[in-house]
Amino acid sequence: MKIGFLFPGQGAQSVGMGKDLYEKYPEYRSVYEKVNKITGKKIDELTFNVTEEELSQTQNTQIAILTMSLAILAILKKQNIKAEVSMGLSLGEYTALIYSGALSFEDGIKIVQKRGELMQNLCPKGDWSMAAILGLDEEKIKEVCNNITTGFVAPANYNCTGQIVISGEKQAVLEAIDKCKQEGAKKAIELKTSGPFHTCKLIEASEALKKELEQIKINDFQTKVIKNIDGKSYKPTDNVKEILANHIINPVKFANGLQEMIDMGIDTFIEIGPGKTLSGFVKRTNKDVKILNINDVETLEKILNGGLENE
């Protein structure tokens, strides 16, 4: 068995996520206590006791999802469940980098807190939206986006075979949804994430993040991590800081990364954190691999009680 971990990004959040894990596992709570200390925020309160609207603010969402994923990892570490390679979607790449040791726990928390603030505060003014397009090929979606004249819209996430997310000005995104449907898309759905993420519109946030990244240390990788920017493993010669700064202005190549993991021989994928969207992406990529997710006590204990072998 070759295990790969997957870590979700913004959009997977929900109020109360992981609360049952927090109440049951001391090592889970311990991660929240450490993050509270580093950030100066009560991340447990922020995750369990706020409105959906407040949790969905970028500066809150990113640190909340990261903390939940790291807290689950703390339980898995105690149980000696490890991955040979990991990948995250957008924000989730930072979770993977912390897991790999390339980022220390403290530096990882600090940089994600800063990243969330920058992406929220330096997001250009405007009415932004994102939409998932299902069942239309990459070139056709690019063509549709290029031909929209009412505003800016561009591909942002290549999630899996047959699913691409576009991002841009709301009116342009809505027009692109209609055009994609006319071109034969099976589905085109507006998402609850609002911001021109993974497009050139976040250049100011990218430049500010680059300065913040200069303050942290990149360590040697203890496990492999797949990059969003090209769907390939980080190499020792890669400039990790530059890649992470460019990450927020370039499309996420998650589909390529999943294929890379399968080509490496990963046959068991575990999605760690809120939701199970990434598990769906794996299923659409390869139906022969084992797919598990951990987002509450039930899904965790299924794995701890032999789910890895029995599935």
Give the pLDDT confidence of 94-118 residue by residue, as tens digits: 999 999 999 999 999 999 999 999 9
Whether residue 271 lies inside any domain: the answer is: yes
Q: Are residues 51 and 180 in the same domain?
A: no
Query: DSSP string covering 167-232, please?
Result: EEEHHHHHHHHHHHHHTT-SEEEE-S--S-TTSGGGHHHHHHHHHHHTTS-PPPPSSEEB-TTTSS
Catalytic residues: 90, 198
Last residue of a domain, one of 190, 214, 239: 190
311 pLDDT exceeds 70? no
In a domain, 63, yes or no: yes
User: Could you report the per-residue pLDDT of 221-242, keeping only the tens digit for each?
Assistant: 999 999 999 999 999 999 999 9
Token pair of 220 as six digits = 């040697």
In this structure, are residues 202 and 119 in contact, taking their beta carbons and an 8 Å threshold?
A: yes
Measured in residues, the chain has a length of 311
Q: Measured between alpha carbons, how far is residue 286 from residues 60, 153, 258 in Å?
A: 33, 30, 9
Q: What is the pLDDT of residues 128-166, one digit of tens each?
A: 999 999 999 999 999 999 999 999 999 999 999 999 999
The most distant pair of C-alpha atoms in the chain lies apart, rounded to whole Å, by 55
Do 30 and 75 share a domain, yes or no?
A: yes
Same domain for 290 and 170: no
Whether 65 and 21 share a structural domain? yes
Radius of gyration of the chain from Cα atoms?
A: 19
**Residue 207 shares a structural domain with residue 298:** yes
* Over residues 250-256, mean pLDDT: 97
Q: Residue 154 — φ and ψ, nearest 5°?
A: -155, 155
Report how far residue 13's alpha carbon sits from residue 202's, in angstroms, rounded to the nearest whole number: 22
Same domain, residue pair 225 and 290 = yes
The total of structural domains in the chain comes to 2
- For residue 250, give the nearest of 198, 204, 196, 206 by alpha carbon: 198
- pLDDT > 90: percent of the chain: 94
Residue 180 lies in a domain: yes
- The answer as to whether 143 is a domain residue is yes
Same domain membership, residue 113 and residue 132: no
> Distances in Å between the alpha carbon of 59 and those of 24, 41, 113, 163, 269?
27, 11, 7, 27, 28
Specify which residues 3 forms β-bridges with. 268
Q: Cα–Cα distance between 248 and 72 in angstroms, integer?
A: 26
Residue 76 dihedral angles phi and psi, to the nearest 5°: -65, -40
Q: pTM value?
A: 0.95
**Are 116 and 158 members of one domain?**
no
- Mean pLDDT, rounded, for 211-220: 96
Question: Which pLDDT does position 310 carry in this prediction?
Answer: 56
Name the domain boundary from 160, 190, 220: 190
Element (H, E) at 133: strand 128-134
252 burial level (CB within 10 Å; 0-12, 13-18, 19+): buried
Asked if residue 208 and residue 144 are part of one domain, the reply reads: no
The CATH number given to whatever domain includes residue 142 is 3.30.70.250
3-state secondary structure of 257: helix
CATH of the domain at 302: 3.40.366.10
Residue after which a domain boundary falls, among 190, 225, 243: 190
Residue 195 lies in a domain: no
Residue whose C-alpha is closest to residue 48's, from 68, 62, 34, 30: 68
Query: Looking at the structure, do residues 173 and 248 belong to the same domain, yes or no?
Result: no
Mean pLDDT of the chain: 95
Question: Residue 308: its pLDDT value, please?
Answer: 78
Domain range for 170 is: 128-190
- More confident site: 306 or 231: 231
Is there a single domain that holds both residue 204 and residue 236?
yes
Identify whether residues 148 and 206 lie together within a single domain.
no
C-beta separation of 246 from 229 below 8 A: yes
Contacts of 73 (CB under 8 A, 6+ apart): 5, 95, 99, 272
159 located within any domain = yes
